[in-house]
Each structure stands twice: as C-alpha cells, then as structure tokens.
Amino acid sequence: MIKVLVPFDFSETSNYAFEFAISLAENYNQLEINLLHVVETPIATGMGTMGGGLDAIPDFENQVFFMELIETRKKQFKEIEEKHKDSSINLKTNLVIGNVYRNIVDVIQEKNPDLVIMGSKGSSGLEEVLIGSNTEKVVRTAPCPVVTVKSSTHVSKMRKVVFASDFRDADDEVASRIRRMQTLFDAQFYFVLVNTPGNFETTRESFARIKTYVQKHKLENIKAEIYNSLSEETGILEFADDIDADMIAMTTHGRTGFLHLITGSIAEDVVNHSKRPVWTFKR
C-alpha cells in the first residue's frame, strides 16, 4: 500500500493536488490518500485579512469565528467523504488545529507517508528569499518525495517526465524512486544534464556519465539529453518547455538555516518557477 499525504486548505491549488492524488489512485489501486487540513490557531497580533490586525477583533468574536470555521471545515470534509464513499478511492481525512507547516511536518513524522502532494502558487522576489511558502519548506525538509502541483493535472496524461541531475552521485535510493515513478506513469523519461558556463564539460563526458548512471542502476526506457544554458535552474525549465514535458523530477539536498540562505536550492527554485508539476526527493 502506497500512503499519500495531501495537505489541503480548500484553495484551488490544493484541489489540484487532491485531484492529482485521486488520478494516481485510479491508476494504481494500492494507494491510500490522507487528506490533511490544518486550522491555524488565532494569533493576537499581526495583519488580519480585512486589515487592522486580529488584535482589533474582540476576543469573543474571534473565538466564535474560530469555532464556526472549525465546524465549517468538518462539514466540508464530510461532504468530500460522502462524495467518494462509493468509489474505489481509499480516502481518509484528518483535521487538526495549530500551525500549518509544523503540523504537516508532525503528520509526516507520525504517518510516514510514501509521498506528499501539495498545491503551490510559487513565489518570487523578496517573498521567495525572506519567507518562502509552506510547500517550499516541506520540499526542503520532508524525508519522502514531494509533488508540487500548480494546475489541473491527470496522471493518465503524463507522457514526458524530465529527471534533471548531474548524475555524479550514484545513489541507490534515488534510482529506486525513479523506478517507482516509472511504475506509476506510462511516460518517456528524459535524463537531462544541464551544461553551464561555470560548470562546463564536453557532450561526450556528459553522455558517458549518464550512461554509467543508467547502467549501474539497471534503468530502462531512458532518453539521455544534454542541455546548454546560463544556469541549471533556467536550463531545466527551458528544456521542459522545449519538449513540452508533463513533469519535472529532481533531488534536493534539504539544506536549512544559514547554509540554505547562502547556497539556496536549485530544486526549490524550480518548484517556485515551474508551471509543471515537480517531483522532488531529498538525498
């Protein structure tokens, strides 16, 4: 049984993530979907959605609104359960109260899912540097693979999957995850290595390394590609555009704190800026 966690906030993008999980379940019947909604604990200070801050709302009114919100979310979850109760989808719902990111991490640690699927709007500029999204933080820290989805995507339409890497780290776990993806998607897998001015090598050297990687891990039905660009992130996104890929897959180092602030993450940049689903797994 493959356990899939879908953090769900009833937004359009989280619905896209839920729909993607359902299409996975329809394509692979040994799959369990855990739909998680976190009701944020009210904060006494800060900006409210109507301006002025939550502290401008009397405590009683704030508490009533909070309790009504919880009841509304319970009702919405019940409607989702009713909608799918007669289907073949193995669906569970979980409503918790607290902090969105912290509770997602706690559930990941407790439930140990095989895959997390999250909706994402992406971010850019100062927001990307200083704040980042909950999705980005989960991508960085989750021990299991994470799929980020920004638009309606169905597994049955997956025809081209790009796996971007430098193919220097012959990690057995990564290769195992790629094979798992191949069982889920009836797609052509493109192994692409991006050549940049600051990290240049000949096409022959690049192809030889991809070939060694594929042979070592006994991977099949792989198409090797070399792509030249000014940066790895840009090259991955441009290559995916050029072949009209349906998904991008890549690894992330999962750096946090000061090291992450200085070095950043190509995977997180791709997650932020890609219009396609991105499947990431930490190595």
CATH architecture of 2-148: 3-Layer(aba) Sandwich (3.40)
Q: Give the pLDDT confidence score for residue 259 in this predicted structure.
A: 38
Half-sphere exposure of 45 toward its Cβ, with a 13 Å CA cutoff? Answer: 0
Note the pLDDT of residue 40: 87
**C-alpha–C-alpha distance, residues 117 and 148, integer Å:** 6
- Helices 266-273 and 232-243 cross at an angle (nearest 10°) of 40
Neighbours of 160 (CB within 10 A): 17
Q: Which residues are CB-contacts of 151 (< 8 A; sequence separation ≥ 6)?
A: 16, 275
pLDDT at 204 over 90: yes
- Is 121:150 a contact under the CB 8 Å cutoff? yes
What pLDDT digit, counting tens, does each position of 239-283 carry? 999 999 999 999 886 554 433 333 347 888 898 889 999 999 887
| Averaged pLDDT of the chain | 84
* CB contact set of 8 (below 8 Å; sequence gap of 6+): 14, 17, 18, 35, 36, 37
The CATH number for 156-282, chosen from 3.60.130.10, 3.40.640.10, 3.40.50.620, 3.20.20.80, is 3.40.50.620
Please report the pLDDT score of residue 44 as a whole number: 47
Distance CA 280, CA 138 (A): 10
**Separation of alpha carbons 194 and 228, rounded Å:** 6
The ranges of the chain annotated as CATH 3.40.50.620 are 2-148, 156-282
Given pLDDT bands bounded at 50, 70 and 90, which one contains residue 130?
A: very low
pLDDT reading at 28 higher than 60: yes
pLDDT computed for residue 53 by the predictor = 43
Strand partners, 160: 188
E-strand ranges in the chain read 2-7, 31-40, 90-98, 115-119, 146-149, 160-164, 188-195, 222-228, 247-252, 278-282
Average pLDDT, stretch 99-123? Answer: 89
CA distances from 260 to 137, 157, 232, 265, 268 (A): 11, 35, 17, 7, 11
Task: State yes or no: pLDDT of 56 exceeds 70.
Answer: no
Copy the structure tokens of residue 179. 């094979």
pTM of the model: 0.84
Amino acid present at 196: T
